[in-house]
């Protein structure tokens, strides 16, 4: 596809010089308040991809079955978009495009069954396909239908299915792209988005050494430029313009102390999550179980060592869903049979939905019969959120296994006593709360 006149490729007329873009990228990557460190490198980001994919599959299944309904509120689509919107910074407000606007009667996927089915076909195709051409063809097919109000914001769903093919999309990203390249991309049109995508791919290819194949990284850069955190380099590389831009960058650097505080708060949340995983690790080992720590959490620092110390280095394979089960925060296994006895998902501030989805892969597997407990471990005030999510029909298999809510307060107050005098799962069940 040729790039339209509204979206010039990087390096063309009106584009910032490559060396200034490179300078911007290096400063941006080192900034603790920018999206690269604050969101792209956030470990929970990767864990959410599978849960969002499963949520999209649920939307497709309900549309196919004719049970999706005629409202956004309370739908499976609201659940998955809310999970996306909880991602830090870049996806805040992602649900706005899907909210029903009664005066405009958009997006027209709630009142029109035909349009709803077309939306379902787009999602279904992108869930199942593997190539760039298949994704682009599916986008062109939905664009040809001209469904009112259903524009490129859908790319935020598709990004979580194909992060190396589909860049995320919002007003700030468009503004950042236009500022960086001199383009005039407009909001709300798929053809404009596809042209911008080509320019983004070219920009990413030129700077891949400091970006990533995952287009979330460059999406984060464009977001930070478009939202005003970073000034775009001047497109006229004269000494005066460059000096003014360098001064603006220095201002951003001087504001880094405030950004560092924000990142410290975010890291404190991650540290709390890790500490609770450590409580569960130590308690499981004290009760005589083998312990598995989520594959992408094992190397997190804790108490002068690593979270995964003393735990299993490999988790026995168990068929479909094995990759998702390996991302469950903490598993206790019987030492002799190596069967999973208990599963724990720690949800400090992230979506309760994502944790339940990871447990769903365990609940529908052949190992479910050996489970003696599934626990959602969360701050004392999140019980209502846990109950609300478990009430969804999609999670009936998890609910059937009597998943329990384990508040931080109960675990903190009783863990040492249970470690000294407890045996088996009975004391854990005693301090947890049944939800159904």
Q: What is the pLDDT of residue 86?
A: 78
Half-sphere exposure of 392 (CA within 13 A, CB side): 24
CA distance 132 to 270: 35
Give me 284's structure tokens.
Answer: 């499981």
CA distance 371 to 193: 47
Do the beta carbons of residue 90 and residue 223 sit within 8 Å? yes
Tell me if residue 206 falls in helix, strand or coil: helix
Q: What is the pLDDT of residue 154?
A: 96
Query: Per DSSP, which regions of 334-420 are E strands?
Result: 340-346, 373-378, 404-407
Split the chain (436 residues) into runs of 10 and give each run's mean pLDDT: 44 66 90 88 82 90 93 87 83 89 92 96 96 96 95 96 96 93 90 94 93 96 92 72 58 54 51 89 96 91 92 74 80 92 85 77 72 89 82 71 87 94 93 84
Residues 6+ apart with CB under 8 A from 161: 53, 56, 126, 127
Q: What is the pLDDT of residue 135?
A: 96
Do the beta carbons of residue 331 and residue 291 sit within 8 Å? yes
Phi/psi of residue 45, each to 5°? -55, -45
Q: What is the pLDDT of residue 362?
A: 78
Give me 300's structure tokens.
Answer: 């997190």
Q: What is the pTM of this model?
A: 0.74
Tell me if residue 282 falls in helix, strand or coil: helix
Q: Taking the CB of residue 338, how many other CB atoms lie within 10 A of it?
A: 12
Torsion sign over Cα 292, 160, 375, 395: negative
Q: What is the pLDDT of residue 252?
A: 57
Per-position DSSP letters for 212-255, written without gaps between them: -SSTHHHHHHHHHHHTTSSPPPPSS--HHHHHHHHHHHHHHHHT
């Amino acid at each position: 596809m040729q790039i339209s006149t509204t979206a010039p490729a990087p390096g063309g007329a009106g584009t910032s010089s490559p060396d200034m873009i490179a300078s911007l990228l290096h400063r941006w990557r080192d900034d603790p308040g920018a999206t690269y460190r604050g969101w792209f490198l956030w470990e929970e980001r990767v864990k959410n991809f599978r849960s969002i994919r499963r949520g999209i599959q649920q939307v497709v299944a309900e549309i196919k079955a004719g049970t999706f309904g005629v409202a956004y509120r309370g739908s499976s689509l609201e659940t998955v978009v809310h999970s996306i919107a909880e991602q830090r910074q870049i996806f805040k407000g992602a649900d706005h495009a899907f909210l029903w606007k009664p005066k405009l009667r958009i997006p027209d996927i709630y009142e029109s069954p035909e349009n709803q089915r077309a939306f379902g076909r787009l999602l279904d195709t992108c869930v199942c396909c593997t190539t760039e051409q298949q994704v682009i063809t599916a986008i062109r097919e939905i664009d040809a239908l001209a469904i009112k109000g259903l524009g490129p914001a859908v790319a935020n769903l598709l990004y979580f299915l194909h992060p190396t093919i589909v860049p995320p999309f919002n007003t700030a990203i468009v503004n950042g792209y236009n500022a960086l390249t001199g383009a005039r991309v407009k909001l709300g049109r798929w053809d404009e988005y596809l042209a911008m995508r080509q320019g983004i791919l070219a920009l990413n290819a030129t700077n891949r050494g400091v970006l990533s194949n995952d287009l979330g990284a460059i999406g984060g850069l464009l977001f930070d430029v478009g939202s005003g955190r970073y000034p775009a380099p001047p497109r006229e590389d004269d000494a005066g313009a460059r000096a003014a831009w360098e001064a603006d960058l220095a201002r951003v650097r001087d504001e880094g102390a405030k950004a560092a505080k924000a990142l410290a708060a975010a890291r404190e949340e991650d540290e709390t999550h890790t500490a609770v995983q450590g409580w569960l690790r130590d308690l499981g080992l004290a009760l005589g179980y083998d312990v598995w720590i989520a594959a992408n959490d094992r190397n997190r620092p804790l108490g002068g060592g690593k979270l995964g110390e003393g735990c299993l280095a490999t988790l026995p394979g168990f068929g479909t869903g094995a990759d998702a089960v390996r991302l469950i925060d903490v598993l206790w296994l019987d030492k002799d049979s190596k069967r999973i006895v208990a599963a724990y998902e720690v949800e400090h501030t992230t979506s309760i939905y994502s944790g339940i989805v990871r447990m769903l892969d365990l609940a529908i597997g052949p190992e479910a019969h050996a489970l003696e407990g599934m626990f959602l471990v969360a701050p004392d005030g999140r019980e209502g959120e846990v109950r609300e999510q478990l009430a969804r029909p999609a999670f009936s298999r998890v609910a059937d296994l009597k998943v329990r809510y384990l508040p931080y307060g109960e675990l903190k107050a009783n863990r040492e006593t249970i470690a000294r005098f407890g045996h088996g799962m009975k004391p854990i069940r005693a301090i947890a709360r049944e939800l159904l």
